[in-house]
Amino acid sequence: MLGYYSKLSSEVYNMDKYIGLSFGDVEFYSNRLASCKGKILEPGVGTGRILIPLLQKGLKVDGFDVSEEMLKICHHNCEQRGFNPKLFKGEMKAFSLNTNYEAIIVPTGTFLLLHQRADSIKALKNFHNHLSNGGRLILDIFLQTDLSVDKASTRTWECENGDMITLEDKIVEVDYINQYTIAHNRYEKWRNGVLLQTELEQFPLRWYGVEEFRTILEQIGFKNIVISADYNYGQYPNKSNQIITFEANKD
| Residue ranges covered by each domain of the chain | 7-143+207-250, 153-206
pLDDT in the model for residue 13 = 96
Helix, strand, coil percentages in the chain from 3-state DSSP, rounded to 5: 25, 35, 35
- Give the global pTM: 0.95
pLDDT in the model for residue 4 = 72
pLDDT in tens, 218-232: 999 999 999 999 999
Q: 150-159 — which CB contacts under 8 Å span 24+ positions?
A: 157/12, 157/15, 157/16, 159/11, 159/15, 159/189
CATH fold of 153-206 reads N-terminal domain of TfIIb (2.20.25)
Q: For the chain, what percent of residues have pLDDT higher than 70?
A: 99
CATH 3.40.50.150 fits 7-143+207-250, yes or no: yes
